[in-house]
Every structure is written in structure tokens, then in C-alpha cells.
Amino acid sequence: MKCYRAAILRFGSDGQALFEQDGLLAVGPDATGRHVVQAVGPFTALADHFEGVPIEHLNGRIIAPGFVDLHVHYPQIDVIGSPASGLLPWLENYTFPQEGRFADPVHCVQTAEFFLQELLRNGVTTALAFASSHPASVDALFAASAARGLRMVTGKVLQDRNSPDGVRDQTEQSLVDTESLIQRWHGKGRLGYAITPRFAPTSSEGQLRGAGELAARYPDVWIQSHVAENMDEIRWARELFPASRSYLAVYDDFGLMRARAVYAHCIHFDDEDRALMRATGAAAAVSPTSNLFLGSGFFDYAGADRVGFRYGLASDVGGGTSLSPFHTMLAAYYVGREGQTKAGLSLTPQHLWWQHTAGAAAALGLDGVVGNLQVGCEADFVVLNPRCTPLVERRTAAAASLDELLFAMIVLGDDRLVERTVIAGMS
Ligand code: GUN
Ligand code: ZN
């Protein structure tokens, strides 16, 4: 058992932020040996209960839940900032060639290590990540995550058509590989597998059908893909699957929409698509830096809230421009303003922060497990230093409310704000 004394940010079940100016966080193993939050609250109320337990004083620091990145491509860490006129040329000219390098297992291991270092430096403690179409890329990320004790979900990309040599896989083999990766990794420690059709245009009907069958046979495995990101992509998907009501409905028609299914982008939806998301329990990964960089469009927050489906924030690196949750939250704020119809703030700082922590965890079906610091949550957290730069220090010191403090960090923050990232109570 160990205690920390600092300001502490966490979230109530309604998504409201709870903030202790002088808080205590007690962390220790539960009955099954997982390192979890044992107690959290005001220091003065709790300190007596933990007499004799070592305590670390983090003066002037803020402890907050580790961030959850709901959609990121680890093989694309070297693609960030590659300009293109839109999604499809970007995939063809930069992304597919880069992902082809993951045929080399040594490249997989080296990139997985670098990617995880970068995630942790930015305060991201859990991610739903695409690997590449090569099984070795999955092994590398899982092995590196296990070595660090990270809760990580990833999967081998399925893409058996409309893809160049080097990344294209074969229908039968891709499904055999997926199942053996599930059996090797899913549920081992903190690791989870995600069935990962890249997007409908690069999978044959046979591959999507096989993926749906695996999703039915392994109901606690995740599913991840892309949908309704870009107008050319949508036109292409509609041509390839004319029998489906919409692009999103393709996934439903192949049994790929259910709880634990996370679809990136979900920009160009109608209300029937939104209702399908809600009815199936699927969630959207909102990736504002990617959508702005590739010119894809603006996620319709008002539409999502009106119909009521789950969503959370994601970097979508390498279409996205940064792994920093602060950059992603700020971009989401800009996007929320674009579609603003109601008076007041479209997206409050508390709601932005929730979307990248407890909200993203809920979208993964991991509420109460990660993304929060309530009692029983796994003890993944960041230590933020609001004095990390002269401007951040000056602006946060002048904050007159919790909302002002959170906004100052969202707008001015980056990896310098993250002084330490603690995984499962250990750093
Ligand atoms: N659609 C299919 N593949 C990709 C990808 O790698 N990135 C993005 N942003 N969209 C995709
Ligand atoms: Zn993506």
C-alpha cells in the first residue's frame, strides 16, 4: 500500500469532475493482486486511516486519471505530418508503404517500444490501437505492453483487397491468424484483443463475414474499424456494398456492431446511423486533429448527444497530429464550436477531459476499470505539474474555478505538463 498527497481530479458516474484541492490517494493490491485505488478523498478526512503507510507528498501537483486513447495506429508514428489532399491519397502514398515495413519483426519491436515510450510521456496509459496486417506487429505491441504492465488493446489489421503488396493479407490465413492471436493474448494480464478490419473498402465480403463470426464466438473481444470519415471513402464503400443501407450498416450486416465495437470518425452520419450506434452499443472514436489535418470534416456532437450513443476522444496518429491528450482536447473544443447551436459552451472543459478518460473507458466497456480514480479502479494515473512552464504557471495560478484551471491546461498543456505517469501504482 502507498499513499499520495496532492490535488486530485476524478469523475463522478454522471461525468462530473470531482476535485480535491488537498487530496489523498491510497493505492494497493486487491484480493486478486491488481493494484487499485483503495481510497480517495480529502487528505484531512482520510489521513488517520492510513497511519504507518508510506506517503509521498506531491506539493503543487495534480493527480489525474491516466488518459485513454480510443483510436491510434502504432505503425503510423512515423507518418505524422504527411500532407495529402485527403484520406485515400494519404493512405496510398504514405501510410500503406510505411505499414509495409512491419513485415520485419525487428522493426515491429523497435517501433512498439518507441510508441509506448511516447504514449507514457504524454500521459496515455490505455489505448485501443491498430497494429499492421502482420501478426508480428501485434506480438511486438502486446509483449512491450506486458513488460510495462499496461492495459492495452490491439489487433492485426484485416485487409485482403484494394491494398498494395506488402500490406494485403489473404482471407483464410488472416482469420486463422486473428484467432490464434486472440488465443495467445486476449485476457492475458491486462491485454485485450481487437478484431480489426481496416475499413469496409479493403475487406472482401468473406473477410468481413469471418470477422463477424469471430466477434460472435469471442464476445468479450473488441472490434475496431473506420467509418464515414471522408466523402470519397463513403462513395467507394457504397459502390462496393450496394445492398447495405449505409456505410455504417455494412458493419452491422456482417455482425460487427455490438458493445466493445469502436468505430473511428463517424463524421458523415444520418440519424439512422446514430440510432444504429445506440441500439448496438457500439462507440465512436472522435479524432479531431486527424479530421482537421486530413480535411475529413467535423464530428457532430449535437447529433450524437441528441440520439445518445457513446463516444470518446482519440489521437488517430498518424492521421492525427499529436499523441498529446491536451492537443486532442483542444482540437475537440474547436470542433464543438463549429457545430455549436446552443447558448453557452458547446463542450465544457470537464466534458472534454471526461471524453479522454472516464468517457473513453466507458466507450471501451472498461468503466470502473481504467480512466478514473474511484475506489476499485486500476491505479493508472498522471502527475501534472501546473508550474511546468512560466506561462502555464502564471495562467493556472490565476484560475478562479475548476473549469478555468482545466481549460488553462487543455489550451496550454502538452507533454511538459505530464511530470510522471504511474502504471498500476508503480513508476
Ligand atoms: N481508413 C482506413 N485506414 C485508415 C487509417 O489508417 N487512418 C485513417 N484516418 N483512416 C483510415
Ligand atoms: Zn485511424
Say what the pLDDT of residue 279 is.
Answer: 98
To test the pocket of ligand 1, the residue of 70, 133, 226 to mutate (highest count of ligand atoms within 8 Å of its CB) is 226
The grid coordinates of residue 395 equal 495562467
Q: Is the CB of 102 under 6 A from ligand 1?
A: no
d(CA 427, CA 422) in angstroms, rounded, equals 5
Ligand 1 atom with the smallest distance to the CA of 199 is 2
Q: Is the CB of 290 under 6 A from ligand 1?
A: yes
Q: State the pLDDT confidence band at 341, using cuts at 50, 70 and 90.
A: low
**Cα distances (angstroms) measured from residue 363 to each of 4, 125, 260, 409:** 29, 16, 7, 24
Ligand 2 centre from 384 Cα, in Å? 28
Q: Is the CB of 319 under 6 A from ligand 1?
A: yes
CATH 2.30.40.10 residue ranges for the chain: 2-65+372-422
Ligand 1 centre from 230 Cα, in Å? 10
d(CA 265, CA 400) in angstroms, rounded, equals 35
Integer distance in angstroms from the first to the last C-alpha of the chain?
A: 14
Strand order in the sheet with 418-422: 35-42, 17-29, 2-11, 55-65, 381-384, 418-422
* Pair 265, 367: CB distance under 8 Å: no
Q: Is the CB of 157 under 6 A from ligand 1?
A: no
d(CA 84, CA 308) in angstroms, rounded, equals 33
**Mean pLDDT value across residues 201-230:** 99
Ligand 1 centre from 243 Cα, in Å? 23
Q: State the pLDDT confidence band at 267, using cuts at 50, 70 and 90.
A: very high
To test the pocket of ligand 1, the residue of 77, 80, 198, 262 to mutate (highest count of ligand atoms within 8 Å of its CB) is 198
* Pair 145, 152: CB distance under 8 Å: yes
Say what the pLDDT of residue 345 is.
Answer: 67
Nearest ligand to the C-alpha of residue 87? Answer: 1
To test the pocket of ligand 1, the residue of 87, 161, 232 to mutate (highest count of ligand atoms within 8 Å of its CB) is 87
Say what the pLDDT of residue 426 is.
Answer: 80
d(CA 205, CA 224) in angstroms, rounded, equals 17
Assigned CATH topology for domain 67-363? TIM Barrel (3.20.20)
d(CA 106, CA 6) in angstroms, rounded, equals 41
Q: State the pLDDT confidence band at 344, using cuts at 50, 70 and 90.
A: low
Say what the pLDDT of residue 425 is.
Answer: 81
To test the pocket of ligand 1, the residue of 102, 199, 232 to mutate (highest count of ligand atoms within 8 Å of its CB) is 199
Q: Is the CB of 199 under 6 A from ligand 1?
A: yes
Q: State the pLDDT confidence band at 120, using cuts at 50, 70 and 90.
A: very high
Share of the chain above pLDDT 70, in %: 98
Q: Cell 478490419 belongs to which residue?
A: 197
Q: What is the pLDDT of residues 96-112, one digit of tens each?
A: 999 999 999 999 999 99
Nearest CA, atom 7, ligand 1: 319
Q: State the pLDDT confidence band at 406, using cuts at 50, 70 and 90.
A: very high
Spell out where 112-221 has E strands.
124-130, 151-155, 157-158, 191-197
Q: Flag whether pLDDT at 115 surpasses 90.
A: yes
**Residue 394 C-beta-side C-alpha neighbours within 13 Å:** 3
Nearest ligand to the C-alpha of residue 79? Answer: 1
d(CA 65, CA 382) in angstroms, rounded, equals 6
Q: Quick check: helix, strand or coil at residue 265?
A: strand
Q: What is the pLDDT of residues 51-86, one digit of tens each?
A: 999 999 999 999 999 999 999 999 999 999 999 999
Nearest ligand to the C-alpha of residue 315? Answer: 2
Q: Quick check: helix, strand or coil at residue 108?
A: helix
Amino acid at 286: V
Between helix 390-397 and helix 402-412 the angle, nearest 10°, is: 160
Residue 359: cis peptide before it, omega within 30 degrees of 0: no
Q: Is the CB of 378 under 6 A from ligand 1?
A: no
**Mean pLDDT value across residues 7-13:** 97
Say what the pLDDT of residue 340 is.
Answer: 63
Whose CA is closest to 317, among 137, 66, 111, 75? Answer: 75
CATH code, 2-65+372-422: 2.30.40.10
The grid coordinates of residue 84 equal 495529402
Q: State the pLDDT confidence band at 346, using cuts at 50, 70 and 90.
A: confident
* Pair 331, 289: CB distance under 8 Å: yes
Name 62's bridge partners.
Answer: 7, 384
Q: Is the CB of 192 under 6 A from ligand 1?
A: no
**Mean pLDDT value across residues 234-263:** 98
Using the Cα atoms of residue 173, residue 175, residue 180 and residue 181 in order, give the sign of their dihedral. Answer: positive
d(CA 286, CA 301) in angstroms, rounded, equals 9
**Mean pLDDT value across residues 144-162:** 98
Q: Quick check: helix, strand or coil at residue 88?
A: helix
Between helix 171-185 and helix 205-217 the angle, nearest 10°, is: 20
Helices (H), ranges, 68-185: 87-90, 96-100, 105-121, 135-148, 171-185
Q: What is the pLDDT of residues 358-402, one digit of tens each?
A: 999 999 999 999 999 999 999 999 999 999 999 999 999 999 999
Q: Is the CB of 91 under 6 A from ligand 1?
A: yes
Burial of 93 (0-12, 13-18, 19+ CB in 10 A): middle
Share of the chain above pLDDT 90, in %: 97
d(CA 272, CA 265) in angstroms, rounded, equals 16
Nearest CA, atom 11, ligand 1: 226
Ligand 1 atom with the smallest distance to the CA of 320 is 9
Strand 151-155 relative to strand 222-227, pairing: unpaired
CATH 3.20.20.140 residue ranges for the chain: 67-363
**Mean pLDDT value across residues 271-290:** 98
Q: Is the CB of 316 under 6 A from ligand 1?
A: yes
Say what the pLDDT of residue 337 is.
Answer: 86
The kind and range of the H/E element at 213 are helix 205-217
Mean pLDDT of the chain: 97
To test the pocket of ligand 1, the residue of 88, 91, 96 to mutate (highest count of ligand atoms within 8 Å of its CB) is 91
Say what the pLDDT of residue 339 is.
Answer: 64
Ligand 1 atom with the smallest distance to the CA of 229 is 10
Q: Is the CB of 73 under 6 A from ligand 1?
A: yes
Nearest ligand to the C-alpha of residue 232? Answer: 1
Burial of 311 (0-12, 13-18, 19+ CB in 10 A): buried
Ligand 1 atom with the smallest distance to the CA of 296 is 9
Q: Which is more confident, 341 or 326?
A: 326
Q: Is the CB of 273 under 6 A from ligand 1?
A: no
